Structure 1
Amino acid sequence: MMHLAQLQFGAPGWFAISLTVIAGAFALLIYAYRSLTLKQSLSGAALCLKLSAIAILSIALTEPLWSGTRIQPGTNLFAVLVDDSASLQIRDPDTGQTRLQQVQQLLAGEEKDQTSSQPQWLVDLQQNFSVRLYSVDSRAHAKADLQHLTFTGKQSNLISSINELNQRYQKLPLAGILLMTDGISAEEISQLQQSVPVYPVPIGSQTPSTDLAITNTSVSYSPFEDAPIRILADLSATHCQQSQVETQLLNQTGKVVETVTRQIETPDQQLQVRFQVRPDQPGIAFYQVKTRLISNANQELTLANNQRTLKLDRGRTAHRVLYVSGRPNWEFKFLRRAIEDDEYIHLVGLIRIAKKEAKFDFRSREGEEGNALYRGFDQQNESDLERYDQPVFVRINTQSPDELSDGFPKTEAELFQYETIIIDDLEAAFFTHDQLELITRFVSERGGGLVMLGGQESFQQGGYDKTDFKQLLPIYFSQRTDSEIESDYQFDLTRDGWLQPWMRHHKNEQDEHKRLAAMPAFKTVNHVDSIKPGAVLTAELKGSQQSRHPALASQRYGLGRVSAVMIGDLWRWRLKEDSTDPQLNKAWRQLLRWMTTDALEPVNLQIEEVAAGSTGTRIKVHVRDEDFQKRSDYQVELEVTTPNQETLKLNADPVADQPGEYQSVYLPGLPGGYSITARVTTPDSKTSTTKGGWVHVPETVEFRSVNPDLSLLNQLATESKGEVIPAAQLSRFVRSIDQREIPVTEESISPLWHHPWVLLLVLGCLFGEWSLRRWKGLP
């Protein structure tokens, strides 16, 4: 066969005869029309008409055929997705209909007697395609029909649902996806993977209407000075001008904690409402933020975005801090007073009151080996008393009689129960090499804090520059021995110090300058050269000769934090204060809270979504033993309490490639706050627990915008090489699908002579020629 564009000839051998007939007809027609008394123009027109009819009939001898491609019926697939989420319950102001009613009209049968349960456009689509029906909310759900949708889905994951269909039909000829939605999705277009053409059908009106919404909330914690928890709520008010907005914070019992009222002045206004709250009990609490319009003539489009549930975590039991000193001093006296009423810091003191020394016989009674300082306290156990070659300690505020009974801890289990260590006025020779290594591991592996205070036997004067301990400290020791020693040093904050909340005591700079000016001059200072790269210098000392010396520096070391306070007589600050709220006390509390804030816990809960926009929640439990080594041989049980106070028990399984990590996935059903308790059991049946919680609020994303998101739908169509289809043109689109690129097609060939228009063209030409002749009265 010969091919000419889309025209083929089944009998090309007849071309010569066809051309001969046309040529002969042309000659005869010229001869015949020469004898007719017609104008030259009319004669030429009549000749062309008759010649055209003869030419068409002659070409028919070659059997001309129209060739092309068409959809192979029933072979290609086409997916129809209908948004089944709650945002379609919104009533559009233009039509007065809800969006779900608009969808139902598109899905309803078009026959008057309603004998057909399917719309005509769907019937037409099924004639050429194998149609797959789906509803979509958090995921795509296969449906036998689309007549019984509930439109109650808590969120729309449009992009992940499209990705799921593309993956499911990856090896099948999926021609396209028709998506009926308002475009409000929990996901971004960047998450779209390679896709077949998507044809979105926008549902809903773009006309702005009255709506008040909570667009975002944040909870800010501060570990300093019993600072309240700060809650920020961002509000969006559309067409609410000349109205008042009332926003309330409610605790978990439903009691109103605080109410804020604001005035709306413009048609599109953004507001930010601030709350401060101090929960009565430590631990997890769930609060609510609610907002409403006061005296507004227009009704809001929806009230589903007028409230948010928040999780507040006020912390757990007190952080344990170990203070170690080489002698009784005033620093510990004022430090202890500063935090004695602080429920978040539990200070344990280990004070040496006598150094170890060589034993001489004349110092004790005959046959007595114990230190005479302890004579008479325990007559039955004289042999267990401290000896002369052992230091003598006083233990303060310990939890058990055995705690620190042997002095400074020698094992991980003993030391790692604390979260911060304070070393004051204690020479490096006091610690054994193993204890120095243990302190290093305490900071780097356990994630604890270390503070060295500037006593008389601290830093270089205590011989720490000759040990590996200097690697921990954020400073370089002084190499100068002839430096001039000044008598008075004034405390001042550095630029970085002004930026650190734990270094400031007041909300404004003016009050802070007054506090610094009121501080006394310090006289005991450990001089250092400079701070290390990566360390932060937050305070300096100004000498009487205008020299400057580092006063307080800190740095991260492994998982923990190390701070160096070069001042050895901070207690002078308290002696000068007459206030009932001493600034020295506040400084101590803020320093210790900052040092313990990021310390690792033996059992740590981490809660996250399985995927962005997903309704699943992954619960991770990170487990360490007493030595803070990751363990994967423990048993971890979870107890989840739902918003309606029902409990559910789960098991968390260890993750193969993540030592010490256990995971479980939970699918929350009800919106609201979920609390969780993780119980960890060791092989020797010891148990420990930790508590956490999260808030499941899918409506937050579903109603983040009440207007259809046409921008997302346009991007979706562009990225997938599809097209946005208006609802009114849906039937026309279905009829034009055969003009688009389809995965599976078949060749279509039809004889040209079988087309009615060919016969009509021949008859038209002959009739036109006859009409010209009859017009002029010719035969």
Structure 2
Amino acid sequence: MDKLKQLLESYFEIPAAGPGQGSAWNFQWNSPWPGWLPDWAVLLLGSGIVFLLIYAYLKDTAHLNVNKRLVLIGIRLTLFAIIILFLTRFTLTIHRTGLPFVAVLIDDSASMGLEDDYAELSSTSMSKPFLQESRGKNRLELVKDLLLQNEARFLTELQNKHKLRLYHFSDECLPLGEPGLIDLQNYQRTQEVLKQLEPVGKETRPFHAVQKVLNDFRGTPPTAIIVLSDGISSTGDLDLLSRAGTLAKSKLVPLFPVGVGSEQPVKDLQLYDLLVDDVAFINDPVTVSAKVKFFGIQSGNMKVSLREARTGSPLASRQFPINAQKDYQKIELTFTPTKPGLLEYVIAVEPVKGEVNLKNNQQTSQISVLDQKIRVLLVDSVPRYEYRYLKHLLERDKTIELRSILQESDLEYSSEDATALDYFPVKKEDLYQYDVVILGDADPAYFSQAVFENLDQFVREKGGGLIMVAGPRFSPHAYLNTDLEALLPVEISNNRQPAEYKPVIEGFQPELTTEGQFSTSIFRFADNAEESQLIWNQLPELYWFYAADEIKPGASVFAVHPTQKGKKGQRIPIISTQRVGAGKVIFNATDDLWRWRDLVGDLYYSRFWVQTIRYLSRSKLLNQEQAVELTLDRKTYQQADTVQFRVKFLDEQLIPTDSKSVTVMLERQGEASKPVKLTPLENSPGIFEGSVSNIPEGAYHTWVSQPILQGTPPAVDFRVEISQRELVNRDMNQSDMKKTARESRGKYFPIYAAEQLPQAIPAGHPVPLENEEPIPLWNRWEFLILFTLLISAEWLLRKRFRLV
């Protein structure tokens, strides 16, 4: 029958059907009789006419034999049928049909990035090959293997009888490719599309995904929907896949869930939030702290070790109890470096039995070990509170070598105080011995022009650190039109110096900016940013401050006044910084930080000042003279977040002339690095920005690779974590997927048996695609010739049989 159809379609010059297409014929006719005449009457009348024709012929041809009578009756009835065809304007319409659709949904939420232990399958002979192939692969990688192995045999078997439309879903459901159709003739393209999928979705909404697909196929529902997922709904029971079973059944669409994962609890130890100083000193204890999260582990002990990355030599190790009742376990290891240089170390937590994902069990970092103390010069005019508390603090710190200058002190002061100097160093060589200069409310009248020039070169050329602590008498207003004015991150030319002895009765709590929270360790009062921010918010209020209206271009603000604003509407900076040549400068707009000692002594006051001094001294101590900074908008990201990179060139001579020549390298622990191109930020000379999105969970190290810089290039570490919603439930929800299959009259398949799924998909019904132009049969020449031939043949036969 199909051959006859093809022959007739070819005769009528209908374009040939494409691969997988067919055709459906439909005949149409127009009624030649009045509309008031019912169909039964027309049928009765037509039957009557046929009866009369037959009766008349039988009576007329009674003398002829049976065969001759039948030939004449057949001719007469055929003529009658052709007349009816003419009168009704008989027309043929051909509908082109295509293969029915099958939708394939791929879960790419963050939980699909988990690895499972399939030990419970070891007794199943069918799953033995799968056990070998699944080692070291996450759930989404197993799905990709199923779809792509053996040149996409799974998809090819489906496409033999159906058209395929692929979707990926997490918090929303989107077609995979354009518009989700997969052409397996181009296997390489199919491979590229599927390999782009990463498990980065923040939420999983299986019901919403199936609902979206059914809406897309409204009017022509698919033959079946295949859902490749772990069955987890991270947004609650309303988005469970089983809720889609009833909906799909009402549309006669069976669901075929493929369960990916294991119902056994996923055991995992996740090491994160590594915290350690960048600079350490020989024979000075160094504390490395981190946190560990537990998944699928209720009790026991874990061993944490610290070792050198290059040699593997152990530095420290310790056993910690596992307490699953806590969100995380804080760990600390202490070691004492004995050799100077750049030390790369690895902190690792030993895997527990049955743990599969070992990528998040360790982190690597670096620390510069110095065989010297930080040399600090503290200068002030009078022994105000800030000077006294800071001086005593730095005298007690074993990593700092302090010298102090009190301009208005007694002549005997320098001989009575072991750290005191008679005067500010005049010679360059004497000044360059220091790493950091803390300039309090010092009187500039004590400084010569040569001293100002030396301080400028100390910062710009030698990479020294300078911090100015504002005061009511001189700093910073008295330094207007001096070389130091250019070093400060704030404009002082338009500011009015506050009255020296005006009482201040209203306190304020400074607010940290994003840069203050995430781009520096100065304000790290605890083991992580959240706890540090909480401590910052609870510090005692400050009172006096210097109101700088404007921040200089390229400078950064770490803390601002909560309410007071400058002339341009920006909140007044309390702590700000800028890179000047090879060194850094910090401006502290208040001299009230000593108030932080209330009730807790030096606990937070000491951390701030020591961390600030180390921040400022780093360039000079490490001899890093390139004025380039690499920063991120934060240190920890969730999957699907965008990671923003910023490279700032503070030395104009280093700014590349080619706007496309700034590149950072991004390296995931244990994997090859890949480049990220940065582009210039509009209206901000020397600043380049770039971003990456949808990168997998793990620890990352990034550094500036282009342009090539002298010394160690700027680098920063960050971490990408799985969405917390996705971590609540980690085990595959097999029972819900089986319930889905039952309710929709489909069938559930585990991932290791999913190769049998294509044979279980019903054939489905052809899908109408388009209608060809109607073919009028009533006026075709073939029927006119046939009518003429038949009526001529009847006349000749009647004449021969002597009926006329």
Under TM normalisation by the shorter chain, which class is it? 0.3 to 0.5
TM-score (norm 2): 0.46
TM-score (norm 1): 0.47
